[in-house]
Amino acid sequence: MSRIAQLLQSALDATSNGVLITDNTSEDNPIIYANPGFEQMTGYDLSEILGNNCRFLQGEKTNRDDVTRLRDAIRQGEAIEVELLNYKKDGTPFWNDLSVSPVKNEQGQITHFIGVQSDITDRREKENARRAQLMAENVVDTVREPLIILNEDLTVYSVNQSFYRFFQTRPEDTIGRRIYDIENGYLNIPALKTLIERILPEKNPFEDFEITHEFPRIGEKTLLLNARRLDSQEGRPEYILLAIEDITRWRQDKAALFESERRSNLIEGLRDVAIITTDPAGRIQSWNSGARDIIGYSDEEIIGQNLSVLFLPEDVESGVPGNEMQRAMNGSNASSDRWLRRKDGTTFWAVGFLSALYDESGVFQGFAKLIHEQTERKRLEEEIVRRTDDLAARDRAKDEFLAMLGHELRNPLSAVSSAAQAAKLLGNKEVERPLAIVERQVKHMSQLVNDLLDVARVTQGKITLQLTLLAFDSIVISAARNGQQVAIKKGLDFQIDVASNVFVQGDSVRLEQIVNNLITNAIKYTPSGEVRVQLEKLDGSAVLTISDTGIGMDTELMPRLFQLFSQANRSLARSEGGLGVGLTIVKQLVELHGGTVEGHSEGEGYGSTFRVTLPLDQNQGSDDSENDEDGGVVGNGRRKILVVDDSEDAAEMVALTLELWGYLVLVAHDGEKALEIALRERPPVVLLDIGLPNLDGYQVAQKIREKYSSDDIKLVALTGYAQESDVQKALSNGFDAHLAKPISFATLKEHLSEYEKGK
């Protein structure tokens, strides 16, 4: 052989590819040459190869179409490359990448074919494995339940899209992390650790492991876990597959169904659950005996009809059935509570939901509707609403009654109070003590009436504050000085420690009410010892502390101290009287001012401490107000005053007091008479009741204002209607001032003094 021929032979012997040459001039195109690579690839000896057609490599699973294509190419003298599943001598299949080319002589005739084949089994298996993996991943992503695959070290290898959607997490926060570290411990659940680390190594697979956990984003969920350890071919653990099913709603439904069944068993023969299935268009396919009992149709009458036959006509017209189906198709149970109709036209209240049905392949099959008749419950709910509305109406009537009661009580109280104050002016020493008792009791009764009216308004949020910048220290000092006089008469040591320039945004009337109530209580419940009033600035707040060494309170009272009608169980409390509403009013008023109030006692006999904290005003000004005294002498010159009240006793007592002050008093008992006197006599001041016969006080005031301005005649409303809205109404109807019954003659005197100065 020539050197080149030897080199070619060496190359053919060295290659791992199989090379063969067939004789096209001989019958059946037999093999006349095969290299060692062919022998190694197929397992046949050269003696078994030569002289045979290469079809001996084909077998049961060799693709016939590929063989036909190969033979056609050879018959037509064309080159071809084809991948065939061939078989080795021992029957082992292998994938053969075969390339066949014709060899021609000098005359252009095909004398031989040369074939080169490669064993591509590994490549094909890898490609198949990759295709299988991609297909599996695509299939997994269509699964509606979350799936997660873990590596042996419990790091996340892969999850499906349902996992991301359900747990609301992202790939970058999931893949490659230990399962317990996902989203800062999102799945760091003790029960899950038990399943993966203790149960699964001993029992593989493990199914239906149920856990309930509160997740940060999706709330409390009940999950059913199925775990399987996937081992390698050598039997070593390689992966863990964890399937997660959300059974929260199922658990809830199951619990509800269990409860429903329990109740159903208590009443023999009760069937109150209807189960209905439909096709995708909503046509009824089946329903149970409960549906027949509740709705009334037989199977023959209802099968094939649309589900909308159960809905009321107005619901059908507004598209309710279609909307329910659409919600169910979107993947959630379409819950609905509504009135449905029976065969006989009657209606019943149905609590139900509609769910979409899918087969094992995920193909939509129709709907299932569950209906639970709850007509009686609905009737009860409507009755509750009706009764609630009725109670609200009665509550409004109560408020109106309390307002009228306060007005009616104030009229006689005003007369008694006026009589007592007028009698004191007569200077009769013998009646001073009885009159003092009368005056104290009238004041006490007036406070009870005010508390009774206030508590209804305050607890229902009907109090509107008139906020202005106030010197809270001035309010506290004024109230403390008044309390100090009472305390000294009782033999108590009364201490006042008030910081200056303590400004707050508040309603002066309501702040006075708060301070007076707490000081009065401290004095009332301290038979002997000390009462201390302290006001200070602390951390941007005004802190008022009122403490006493009195009888104290049972520690069991503390939790309900500010509750309505709550009183300590103490004989002194009962002897002092009270409705048990004062502290309730205090708490509500303090909170309306943006503050807090708290009370404390170490127990009975250890005194009490109450602390009110209000926010300081951020833009404090200076307190340039001065406390005026009586305002000068009143009554000089016998100035006229018109007193108008439909209560003759009340009018007489006010008139008597004014006459003692030196006024010439005119009296009227109805609106028309009052208007006649006012227009004729033109008195500088008119004390005018609101609730009058013929013309009420507002009408009288309006008619007077049509002719005379405030500079000509001062109009003072003197009435039992004492709510803030009543004050505003009086001022808006032409009154210059509003005084609540029973009248305080000191306050009246201040107003008259101001009017005198103005003249």
pLDDT in tens, 154-173: 898 888 888 888 888 888 98
What whole-number percentage of the chain has pLDDT above 70? 81
- Domain residue ranges of the chain, discontinuous segments joined by +: 3-125, 143-246, 251-373, 375-440+628-759, 463-615
Say which CATH architecture domain 3-125 belongs to.
2-Layer Sandwich (3.30)
What pLDDT is recorded for position 410?
62
Answer positive or negative: Cα dihedral of 662, 668, 673, 675: positive
Q: What is the DSSP string of 458-501?
A: HHTT------EEEEHHHHHHHHHHHHHHHHHHTT-EEEEEE-S-
What pLDDT is recorded for position 609?
95
Question: Using CA atoms, how far apart are residues 523 and 578, in angstroms rounded to an integer?
Answer: 14
What distance lies between CA 540 and its chain's CA centroid?
A: 33
What pLDDT is recorded for position 723?
82
| Total count of residues recorded for the chain | 759
Question: Using CA atoms, how far apart are residues 274 and 350, in angstroms rounded to an integer?
Answer: 10
Among 12-21, 139-148, 603-612, name the most confident range: 603-612
List CB contacts of 601: < 8 A, sequence separation 6 or more: 552, 553, 555, 558, 607, 608, 609
* Residues 181-186: contacts with CB under 8 Å, at least 24 apart: 182/156, 183/216, 186/215, 186/216
What pLDDT is recorded for position 64?
93
Ramachandran assignment for 751, one of left (phi > 0), alpha (psi -120 to 50 degrees), beta (any other): alpha
Strand partners, 278: 284, 367
Q: Is there a contact between 611 and 515 (Cβ–Cβ < 8 Å)? A: no
Residue 721 CB coordination number (10 Å): 22
What pLDDT is recorded for position 574?
39
The model's pTM: 0.35
Range 621-629 average pLDDT: 38
* Residues 373-381: contacts with CB under 8 Å, at least 24 apart: 373/272, 373/274, 373/294, 373/348, 373/349, 374/337, 374/349, 374/350, 375/348, 375/349, 377/349, 378/349, 379/349
Phi and psi torsions of 651, nearest 5°: -60, -40
What pLDDT is recorded for position 628?
35
Q: Same CATH fold, 251-373 and 3-125? A: yes
Phi and psi torsions of 354, nearest 5°: -115, 135
Residue 153 CB coordination number (10 Å): 6
Strands of 284-287's sheet in order across: 284-287, 273-278, 364-373, 347-358, 334-341
Phi and psi torsions of 109, nearest 5°: -90, 145
Residue 269 has pLDDT above 50, yes or no: no
Fold of 143-246: Beta-Lactamase (3.30.450)
Ramachandran assignment for 59, one of left (phi > 0), alpha (psi -120 to 50 degrees), beta (any other): beta
C-alpha to C-alpha distances, 439 to 235, 414, 427, 515, nearest whole angstrom = 102, 11, 15, 22
Per-residue model confidence as pLDDT tens digits over 316-374: 999 999 888 888 888 766 777 889 999 999 998 988 888 888 887 888 999 988 888 88
Question: What class has domain 375-440+628-759?
Answer: alpha beta
Question: Using CA atoms, how far apart are residues 222 and 351, in angstroms rounded to an integer?
Answer: 24
Q: Is there a contact between 236 and 228 (Cβ–Cβ < 8 Å)? A: no
How buried is 487 (Cβ within 10 angstroms: 0-12 exposed, 13-18 middle, 19+ buried)? buried
DSSP code for 155: B
Q: Is the peptide bond before 30 cis (omega within 30 degrees of 0)?
A: no
What pLDDT is recorded for position 417?
67
Higher pLDDT, 123 or 457: 123
DSSP code for 513: H
- Which among 462, 461, 478 has a CA at the least distance from the CA of 470? 478
Question: What class has domain 251-373?
Answer: alpha beta
Phi and psi torsions of 238, nearest 5°: -120, -45
Question: Using CA atoms, how far apart are residues 716 and 703, in angstroms rounded to an integer?
Answer: 15
Question: What class has domain 463-615?
Answer: alpha beta
Question: Using CA atoms, how far apart are residues 120 and 94, in angstroms rounded to an integer?
Answer: 8
DSSP code for 604: T
Range 7-19 average pLDDT: 80
